[in-house]
Each structure stands twice: as C-alpha cells, then as structure tokens.
Amino acid sequence: MRDAIGIFDSGIGGLTVLRALSEALPYEDTIYLGDTARVPYGTRSAETVVRYAAQAAKFMAEKRVKLLVVACNTASAVALEAIRETCPSTHFPVVGVIDPGVREALRVSRTRRVGVIGTEATIRSDAYVRALKADDPAVQVFTKACPLFVPLAEEGWQESDVAALTAERYLAGFRDLGVDTLVLGCTHYPVLASVIQKTVGPEITLIDSASATASAVRDTLKDRALDRPAPAAGTRAASQRFYVTDAHERFVKVGSRFLGRDLAGVITVEL
Ligand code: DGL
C-alpha cells in the first residue's frame, strides 16, 4: 500500500521541513532520507546534484511513497525536473520547496522587491529568480549566497557572536535595497531566523519555505485524494522512518535539534 510521504534532503537540514510537515499533517506516515555521505550539495555542480537526487528519488520509489517532498533547496533548484523524470507524476507527485516559497513571498510582498538567500548552487542556478518572475514579471529580485550559515546552524551557534557577524557580512546590503520580503532558500536557515531577522530589521518579512511547503503538500494530498483521515483517538500514531547514507550518530545528535525532538531508529543505507 502506498502510504507514507517521502522527504529527501542532502542531510540533516530537511528535518526543518519534516518538522513543519508533522505540525501541518500529524497523521501522515513519513520516510526521511538524508544523503549524509555526500552532503553538502550546495557547493557541488548541478550535474552532480542531479545524479545524487535521481538516486534518492529511485530509493523513494522503491519505498512506494505516495508523494515525494524534495526538502533540499539545492536539489529543488537544479534537479526537480530530473527527479520528476525518474518518478513521473503517474507514479507519485513530487513537491519541491521553491514554488511554495515563491508563492508565499509574492503573496506577502508589497514593494515587489524580494530578497532570496541560499547555498551557492541554489543562487547560481537562478531557480528562484525564474520562478518569481514567472509568477510576476515586474518583481525585482536580489539574491545572496550565504554558505557559512549551514555549518553555523549544524554547530548550534545560531545565537552566537559569530552568527551575528556572519549575518551582518552577508545581509547588511539588504537593508538599503527596499526589499520587504526575504526568502530563506535553504533548509538550514529557519534555524537562524532570529539572527537573520535582527540583521535585516523588522520591516523585512522572512519567508520560511518549510511551512509554505507543508501547506503545498497538504493541498496536493487533498487534491489527489491521497490524504489520510484523522484516525480514531488512541488507535495509531503516525510512524516516522529515517534513512541516512552515513554518519548515523551525528544525524541523531544534530538532527534532534533541527526536528525539535529525539530521533530514533535511524537506518544507514547505500544509494
Ligand atoms: N539542504 C541544502 C539546501 O537546502 C543545504 C545543505 C547542503 O548544501 O547540502 O540547499
């Protein structure tokens, strides 16, 4: 039976998306795959990310998921089409994180000047710029790669002086651009939301693509009649399975922080 939602990320960061999904859809079973042997994707070429992502999609197809969430912004930016080719929608729908974040940004922005931050590969791909302009050709987009945010979030240093200095260095420019909306275009950035907000100032609204994606998943499941009805009280809790390709202990330790609860039953696999 096709039952679980698959969530794929390059490593730990996609747990911020799983967290938002579990809050929005508490009855749904999930299968999470973190490609921890090959993280980070954000500094790699598009060709390499496409190859890795297609393997991950194949893994999810073998698990017979009913919908696949590409939680990794980098993979969504450069490999979504390749994933959809590996897993045609007759097979199961594939939801990336870029379109939901873009829709939310355009809903919120009044000045039509939108900032986007992400990994080097995401920013280089121009995927956000294309998606924003496809929905509103008049929008002006300002982008910045912020690669150091990923290790800072994993280290748990989001409240530190180092995080504040790094954020200032990357983001100070956004204060003078008339931008009123800033898309957090990387799985790790919601962890740093507080320092990012302090740096850019209260006039700029941060868009967390994790929660925008959770809403998109809920809508897609409903449209296709794939959603699970609320079970009778006390009958069954949703199951969450976790697969990684390496460094299982680090995933458990750092991942618990990203997920906001303890992680258990993590299985190491080869893709
Ligand atoms: N998951 C990646 C993203 O959202 C960040 C980590 C990486 O570079 O692999 O872009």
CATH number for the domain including 48?
Answer: 3.40.50.1860
Last residue of a domain, one of 161, 176, 209: 209
The mean per-residue pLDDT over the stretch 233-242 comes to 79
Q: Residue 156: its pLDDT value, please?
A: 94
Of 158, 192, 209, which one is at a domain's C-terminal end?
209
Which atom of ligand 1 is the closest one to the Cα of 14?
Answer: 1
Q: Which of 17, 18, 78, 150 to mutate to test the pocket of ligand 1 (most atoms within 8 A of CB)?
A: 150
Tell me, yes or no, whether 91 and 217 share the same domain: yes
Work out the burial of residue 132: count CB atoms within 10 Å of its CB; fewer than 13 is exposed, 13-18 middle, 19 or more buried: buried
Same domain flag for 240 and 145: no
Same domain as 186, residue 142: yes
Q: Which of 171, 186, 209 is the last residue of a domain?
A: 209
pLDDT band per the 50, 70, 90 thresholds, residue 237: confident
For residue 118, the enclosing domain spans 98-209
Q: Is the pLDDT of residue 213 over 80?
A: yes
Residues 89 and 57 in one domain: yes
Q: What angle do CA 216, 220, 226 make, to 5 degrees?
A: 135
* Domain identity same for 196 and 111: yes
| Tens-place pLDDT, residues 246-258 | 988 999 999 998 9
Q: Averaged over 84-103, what is the pLDDT? A: 88
pLDDT band with cut points at 50, 70 and 90 for residue 2:
low
Specify the pLDDT at position 44.
94
Total domains in the fold of the chain: 2
Same domain, 231 and 202: no
Could you tell me where the DSSP H helices lie in 36-160?
Answer: 46-62, 73-86, 98-108, 120-125, 127-135, 149-155
Does residue 7 contact residue 69 with C-beta atoms inside 8 Å? yes
The pLDDT-based confidence of 159 (bands split at 50, 70, 90) is: very high
Residues 198 and 242 in one domain: no
Express each pLDDT in 160-200 by its tens digit.
Answer: 999 999 999 999 999 999 999 999 999 999 999 999 999 99
Phi/psi of residue 41, each to 5°? -85, -25
Does 109 contact ligand 1 (Cβ within 6 A)? no
Find the helix or strand (DSSP H, E) in which 268 lies. strand 266-268
Report whether residue 119 contacts ligand 1, using a CB cutoff of 6 Å: yes
Res 228 pLDDT > 70: yes
Task: Assess whether pLDDT exceeds 80 at residue 93.
Answer: yes
Q: What is the pTM of this model?
A: 0.94
Which residue CA neighbors atom 7 of ligand 1 most closely? Answer: 40
Q: Do 185 and 125 share a structural domain?
A: yes
Q: How confident is the model at residue 231 (pLDDT cuts 50, 70, 90)?
A: confident
Task: Supply the pLDDT for residue 1.
Answer: 42
Rounded-to-integer distance, Cα 209 and Cα 7, Å: 14
Asked if pLDDT for residue 66 goes beyond 90, the answer is yes
Site to substitute for ligand 1 among 32, 39, 149, 154, most atoms within 8 A of C-beta:
39
Query: What is residue 24's three-state secondary structure?
Result: helix
Give the per-residue pLDDT at 57.
93
